[in-house]
Structure 1
Amino acid sequence: MHLIGMLDSPYVRRVAVSMTCLGLPFTHESVSVFRHYERFAAINPVVKAPTLVTDAGIVLIDSTLILEHAEKLAAPGRSLTPGHLALHARSQRIIGLALAACEKSVQIVYEHQLRPEEKRHQPWLDRVTEQLFAAYRLLEGEIGERDGWLLGGEIQQADITAAIAWTFTTRIIPDVVPADAFPGVAQLAARAEAQEAFRAWPYDG
């Protein structure tokens, strides 16, 4: 399989880290949706990262859908998603909050970097920033003070996505969300970033 996209994207990175944790071999090509638009379009005309080209040549998009497919490819018993219904619901909640934090972080970056200053809408920025902090406040409440992984046992998708979201936010907009703003999330991220799968696919921003 072939993963296309830059590792400064939390969505690309969560796919790379997760597929490594699942023991799925793949190659990675760092192609930017901005700087290498035509090159990306030749692989995927939608120009959306991450893009995964399966062994059968099928082009998949959206990190969540790619990871759903990856779970089907993993060896029996090897999964990043809990089977127990209550744990699955909690996992989905944590992942949803982390992905919301990623989305709001990206919106803030785009508002500053892509929109001319005279056309920025401060009420919109204020709203997005509040949504970002709401997501991390709720994540902080879910994580609390713990030494292990969120759902016990081994690292799972909830841990991976929450950690990658935090690393992304605090690297890309440190003036908005300082690295010490949410200690529980920060500690989880530090624990995850020390794992081999994370070190293999470091944030590249």
Structure 2
Amino acid sequence: MRLIGMLDSPYVRRVAIALRLLDIPFEHDPLSVFSTFDQFSRVNPVVKAPTLVCDDGTVLMDSGLIIDYAEALAGRSLWPADLASRTRALRATGLALAACEKVMQIYYEHNLRPAAHAPWLERVHQQLRAALAGLDAEIARHPPSADEKSLTQDGLCAAIAWRFMQIKLATPVADAACPALSAFAARVEALPSFLATPADDRVTVSTPGYRAP
């Protein structure tokens, strides 16, 4: 199978690391939805990253749906088994993905629009602050596993979200603003599957940083 998309996308990186954790071999084709739009469109006309080309040629998209397919293929899940733990994991994962979405919106607002829309940006920053505060509190109360063999979706997404905002915001979020999240992410980023799937931090950005409450 072939994974399409660049690893500076948290959604592409989420899938790539999940495939490694599930021991599913894949080829990575780092096409950009911007600079290689036409080439990407020949694989998936929707041009959505991540895109997964299955062994039978079926084209899948959306990180959550791709991981659902991968878990079915592997015969095991990256979600906790018991309901209480899964509920906490679902909440933390939602917060992490919301943070990624808000960082992406801030990045696009400053890099793709002629002029930033200040009221909209302030609302997005407020949403990002709320997502980070909630995620940091969840990790402080219920620390996910930082072990390669028992890492679940909430821990995977939390670490990816933290790294993503460090490379996409011109002023990185300070560790002191999210102490539980930053410490957890540092441990997870040292795992072999993360080291083998680095975020692309060669991207030059001009995006304002996180503004603490």
Same fold per TM (> 0.5)?
yes
* Contact in 2 for aligned 1:150/1:158 (Cα 8 Å): no
Q: Which residue of 1 aligns with 2:206?
A: none
Instruction: Please report how far the alpha carbon of residue 177 of structure 1 lies from its aligned counterpart in structure 2 after TM superposition.
Output: 2.7
Match of 1:94 among 92, 113, 124: 92
**Letter paired with 1:97:** L
Q: 1: CA distance between counterparts of 2:184 and 2:145?
A: 8
Q: 2: CA distance between counterparts of 1:176 and 1:193?
A: 16
Q: Is 1:56–2:60 an aligned residue pair?
A: no
Task: Flag structure 1 segments of 5+ consecutive residues without an equivalent.
Answer: none
Match of 2:167 among 125, 149, 171: 171
**Letter paired with 2:128:** L
Q: Deviations over 1:86-111 (max 9, x none)?
A: 11111111110000000000000000
The 5-angstrom pairing of residues 82-161 of structure 1 reads 82-117=80-115, 120-144=116-140, 149=145, 154-161=150-157
The change in CA–CA distance for 1:202 and 1:141 in structure 2 (over 3 A counts) is same
**Letter paired with 1:63:** S
Question: Please, which moves more after superposition, 195-204 or 168-177?
Answer: 168-177
* Contact in 2 for aligned 1:17/1:201 (Cα 8 Å): yes
Match of 1:192 among 188, 194, 205: 188
Aligned length in residues? 200
Instruction: Please report how far the alpha carbon of residue 170 of structure 1 lies from its aligned counterpart in structure 2 after TM superposition.
Output: 1.6
The 5-angstrom pairing of residues 63-82 of structure 1 reads 63-75=63-75, 78-82=76-80
Give the percent of matched residue pairs that are identical in Structure 1 and Structure 2.
51
Q: Which residue of 2 aligns with 1:44?
A: 44
Instruction: Please report how far the alpha carbon of residue 46 of structure 1 lies from its aligned counterpart in structure 2 after TM superposition.
Output: 0.2
Q: Which residue of 1 aligns with 2:19?
A: 19
Question: Please, which moves more after superposition, 137-146 or 185-194?
Answer: 137-146
Secondary structure of the residue aligned to 1:52 is strand
* Contact in 1 for aligned 2:144/2:152 (Cα 8 Å): no
Task: Flag structure 2 segments of 5+ consecutive residues without an equivalent.
Answer: 202-213
The change in CA–CA distance for 1:90 and 1:16 in structure 2 (over 3 A counts) is same
TM-score w.r.t. length of structure 2: 0.89
**Letter paired with 1:81:** W
Q: Deviations over 1:39-85 (max 9, x none)?
A: 0000000000000001111000000110111110114xx42111211
The 5-angstrom pairing of residues 27-38 of structure 1 reads 27-38=27-38
Q: 1: CA distance between counterparts of 2:87 and 2:141?
A: 20
Q: 1: CA distance between counterparts of 2:146 and 2:38?
A: 41
Q: 2: CA distance between counterparts of 1:184 and 1:204?
A: 24
Q: 2: CA distance between counterparts of 1:147 and 1:92?
A: 14
Instruction: Please report how far the alpha carbon of residue 175 of structure 1 lies from its aligned counterpart in structure 2 after TM superposition.
Output: 1.9
The change in CA–CA distance for 1:203 and 1:176 in structure 2 (over 3 A counts) is closer
Secondary structure of the residue aligned to 1:6 is coil
**Letter paired with 1:65:** L
